[in-house]
Structure 1
């Protein structure tokens, strides 16, 4: 989620490293007299950062920077007189909730403190320290390691999707929990250790992965699908109806996506059709890639080539069924793709706009993840969310099944309270697969967690069918498959 507007005055040895460290979630304004440094900042952060060449002691320059709308102004020049004068102008003419400035001499520090400014002493200040002040609940652990954000301290938020989970159930990949601080006590983490709200957790691992983990722990997610990426990847087999491209255009119109990549086989007329669709729907940031490989390796190779994860992978439901006619192979393919690409997969069926969204409540594991995603998507879309609960007959349901049903209801109710969004509860009677499939035509989108699909032998599937998979396979509406939580983190 965007975290506010910040103005940085001075892009020297402190200011410029700070700009490099700060998350791009921040709306950033940078002021400096050096045009070359400002150009460097623009290349680093793109259009999301506004740069001003000028003297920040000027009231007009500060007005141009919009400091009245800023959450924080950070003054990082190495001139004590400049820092004091900027702070004085801010104090006299603007209302800024928070001002942080570098102090050089004791006299200068005293002057700044009289202006109600938070002071960082020049000999102790660092870009990392300032970054920690701004990002509050997430701190870079410095003084050890490489100083590349590979070690972070994060405070667990009460509404984090990782709160109240054991480390064994989270199954960290490419990161680890090093230590947990709880109520002034130090806990050496083990598999059975449960993460609790207000725990301070030191995490270690690959910096891009840690960023996502920190956001999960501190409940600071960006709008869907930016927690995964800002790109749509769509694989075109040649059997896709026009509605497939229309649905992609719809996704671009409602979600904050930046780029579209079409992958397709080198088949006669296919490139021309894609080009026609690109022009028709005005996909301005569209790329097309010809591949000789089938869907799975082609998509993964493109992910590696572009060096980032896509926000959504879009496949045509009808084309996928024709390409992979065997249901068991199709299930295995979708599961492995979601896990490897670490992003949602949309099986597009043309049932848009998404005005009514269903979350089939078929098992407790993964339900919170799917419900959270449906709620996060509602930031961009004003739709009605329904939780579909197939209730087994009380004559055949076991005590364990009855208890799981009640826990699922509690999970959905809790998510509704946390996000302050109403979720309609729909109870269905009878066979779970049939009742859910009968209800889905009344909706435009179904949101499902893919992480708990069961791999069964043929004879086992006849006796105990994998209910979530059968609902996805036969769904008459567009279906969003959420990757396993452990794949994302």
Structure 2
């Protein structure tokens, strides 16, 4: 994600200080002394991700030099409203997805509104925050309502992951939709309340993850796996090179911010050093004595971006109603669990679809991954018979998602046993993404296909569980 900040004053510096760990940032200012102050607040990890440019931020040439064509967000926060408005106008010409400005005077607010520029008036924002604190008698620790804390308001775009779905379908311990503004109407949502494009939703949650959720909801830009968590976890009960290989691939090619490696047996240092070359850093390593039991206690009650584990757990217990270790972990954390089979890098992705909410959620994750990894994507439907009519309905849904995300999705139909046909088809792919519903009972007489698919796949596979 790339952010361009025009203005290296107090607001610009504070914004950079908060975002430098996650964003590639360019700061533009004409004042050399202000740019020098920026250098003083950079940490060692951010040095390579922050570019300082001295010059006129209202110049198209300067903005092109800053990389305006690739920018995810643009913020104008100089003390000159005229310069802020002109710079934002140019940013709009380059179709920057997110544009904000700081208004220095209430007398100039109408100028921002006339140009259709999102802005925050410094005086109004400060007074509003003080008003809430004085009237409530409580000092709020975060700048609530200004995108800097535990509550955010986001506009729902047609491509948003939540558009068209009921609120109750989103199960995360880290964020929750608490209110919907539809025009002038305030809706306190129930689990069945459907979110519509154009709605403004109020979300509460962990500040570390809210900004990514906001980006995903607003623009549909791939953020995988940040809607689940910022940390990747690799579990190594034994030395398995395919786990290291797949774990490293997803760590380097997705949006995860941190990595933790849990191992039960000593691992060759050369293998762990493979991760040290990554630009992300932030790697934690821990040896476990009780292996699976201790690992489960470590992750219990938490959310992660991705949990990677080996393909050593067989599906046999599922026949007797006993869930396997990968399934237990996926249900407990509601985090994506990758069973690593060493089939990275990923060029072809397969998602089995049945029409259930969980399978369509998996398809959306597959779409994100295909966009991020520049991989082809196929949706597989296994019909019980040749005369099945459900295939056409699913094909339409897949076509709509393909159009919405502007990415091709091949629809593949097979006839027969869904587990067996999926297993055969998965030989042609590098990654499968499987959706499941938490809490489903399994046994020999009533097999739940997603859990069996996870174990029967011939490629590395991600299981994504949605709430009950």
Give the Cα separation in 2 of the matches to 1:117 and 1:101: 14
> 1:139 maps to which residue?
none
> 1:393 maps to which residue?
385
* Alpha-carbon spacing, 1:96–1:432, altered in 2? closer, same or farther (3 Å): closer
Q: Is 1:224–1:377's contact at 8 Å kept on the other side of the alignment?
A: yes
1:469 deviates by: 1.3
1:117 deviates by: 12
1:433 deviates by: 1.8
**1:88-107 alignment, distance < 5 Å:** 100=101, 103=104
Q: Is 1:368–1:415's contact at 8 Å kept on the other side of the alignment?
A: no
* Alpha-carbon spacing, 1:424–1:311, altered in 2? closer, same or farther (3 Å): same
Q: 339-348 or 167-176, which moves further after superposition?
A: 167-176
Tell me, yes or no, if structure 1 residue 315 matches structure 2 residue 317.
Answer: no
> 1:80 maps to which residue?
none
> 1:186 maps to which residue?
186
SS in 2 for 1:463: coil
What do the CA deviations read for 1:193-248 (whole angstroms, capped 9, x no partner)?
A: 221111122334444454454345324444433444565422222252x3433333
1:87 is aligned, of 64, 78, 83, to 83
SS in 2 for 1:202: strand
**1:57-206 alignment, distance < 5 Å:** 66=65, 69=68, 72=74, 74-77=76-79, 83=80, 87=83, 100=101, 103=104, 123-124=123-124, 126=126, 146=140, 147-148=143-144, 149-170=149-170, 173=173, 176-206=176-206
> 1:366 maps to which residue?
358
Unaligned stretches of 5+ residues in structure 2: 93-98
1:442 is aligned, of 428, 431, 434, to 428
Give the Cα separation in 2 of the matches to 1:57 and 1:425: 50
**1:148-297 alignment, distance < 5 Å:** 148=144, 149-170=149-170, 173=173, 176-208=176-208, 210-228=210-228, 231-238=231-238, 240=240, 242-252=241-251, 254-255=253-254, 260-265=259-264, 267=265, 270-271=266-267, 273=268, 275-279=269-273, 283=277, 285=281, 287-295=284-292, 297=294
Give the Cα separation in 2 of the matches to 1:64 and 1:164: 37
Tell me, yes or no, if structure 1 residue 408 matches structure 2 residue 394.
Answer: yes
Give the Cα separation in 2 of the matches to 1:394 and 1:91: 61
2:367 is aligned, of 367, 370, 375, to 375
Q: Is 1:296–1:337's contact at 8 Å kept on the other side of the alignment?
A: no
**1:21-60 alignment, distance < 5 Å:** 24-25=22-23, 27-29=25-27, 31=29, 33=33, 37-39=37-39, 41-43=41-43, 46-47=46-47, 50=50, 52=52
Number of equivalenced pairs: 434
Give the Cα separation in 2 of the matches to 1:329 and 1:462: 8
What do the CA deviations read for 1:57-81 (whole angstroms, capped 9, x no partner)?
A: 8999x9599468377452444xxxx
Q: Is 2:23–2:49's contact at 8 Å kept on the other side of the alignment?
A: no
1:371 deviates by: 1.1
Q: Is 1:101–1:120's contact at 8 Å kept on the other side of the alignment?
A: yes
Give the Cα separation in 2 of the matches to 1:117 and 1:410: 36
Q: Is 1:29–1:49's contact at 8 Å kept on the other side of the alignment?
A: no
1:158 deviates by: 1.6
* Alpha-carbon spacing, 1:66–1:73, altered in 2? closer, same or farther (3 Å): farther
**1:329-368 alignment, distance < 5 Å:** 331-368=323-360
Give the Cα separation in 2 of the matches to 1:213 and 1:276: 36
Unaligned stretches of 5+ residues in structure 1: 78-82, 130-141
* Alpha-carbon spacing, 1:351–1:171, altered in 2? closer, same or farther (3 Å): closer
Give the Cα separation in 2 of the matches to 1:217 and 1:64: 27
1:177 deviates by: 4.2
Larger Rg: 1
* Alpha-carbon spacing, 1:263–1:407, altered in 2? closer, same or farther (3 Å): same
> 1:7 maps to which residue?
5
> 1:138 maps to which residue?
none
1:377 deviates by: 1.1
TM-score, scaled to structure 1: 0.71
Q: Is 1:300–1:341's contact at 8 Å kept on the other side of the alignment?
A: no
1:11 deviates by: 3.0
SS in 2 for 1:450: strand
1:430 deviates by: 1.4
Give the Cα separation in 1 of the matches to 2:188 and 2:429: 47
SS in 2 for 1:315: strand
Q: Let me know the Cα RMSD of the aligned residues.
A: 4.5
Q: Is 2:436–2:463's contact at 8 Å kept on the other side of the alignment?
A: yes
